[in-house]
Amino acid sequence: MESLETALSKAHQTIWHGGKRNPAEAFGEVAKVIFVKVWDERKLRKNGEAYEFQRKRNETTEKLQKRIHAIYNEAKQKDPQVFSEDIKLDERELAAVVEHLQKLNLSKTDLDVKGEAFQKFLGNFFKGDFGQYFTPSTAVQFCIDMLGDELEDHHNVLDTSCGSGGFLLRVLDHMRSKADEYFDKNSAEHFRFWHDFAENKLYGIEISEAIARVAKMNMILHDD
């Protein structure tokens, strides 16, 4: 199975299409489709029940497009702060992106693997196309380590220029590590400890709507 980084790159290249769209717009469309995939993966399913995010055998691109749009519209209603615009891909583009991503299971991919792939993809994309440079991960980790045990789950954390969410993710990882000290990793208490913190105590501000959307997607991929 190809890597997440490769699949993301192929999806972006399909949508960018050698300049048919500007790179930022293409990335925005990739993010929407990833949002659909994550949403579909998190739906409750009976044993053996297939995912909706896939192109089925002999399925037309038009039928696939209708199903993906239906999932996206459902997700938008439940989580309107992430995306407000419709998917702008034509049916062939959408089918190609789905085929690039359908073999992956983002929800079951290790967090570190997802983080490394997504950050590498983001780094290459933003440096080349947005001219944005984010704080190196080593510097981010150094800042988190300086806080050490002083950072507790009852504290509010705000990044006033959050970019793609690097600081937010490191703080979230810090809270997951704290949860490891108190609870079994597979327990409801462990999940509630860091998830409640992420939902109620972790904030980011970003002036660019496009980059804010990237931060949201980054957090979603990391189970926030």
pLDDT tens digits, 3-33: 888 888 888 888 887 677 777 778 788 888 9
pLDDT tens digits, 101-159: 999 888 778 767 777 777 777 766 665 555 566 677 788 889 888 887 888 889 999 99
pLDDT tens digits, 65-74: 999 999 999 9
Q: CA nearest 163: which of 131, 117, 128, 201?
A: 131
pLDDT tens digits, 159-190: 998 887 888 988 998 999 999 999 998 899 99
In order of 25, 115, 144, 216, the CA distances from 212 in angstroms are: 14, 17, 21, 6
Q: What percent of the chain has pLDDT over 70?
A: 92
* pTM for this predicted structure: 0.77
Q: Are 218 and 165 in contact (CB under 8 A)?
A: yes
Q: Is the pLDDT confidence value at 75 over 90?
A: no
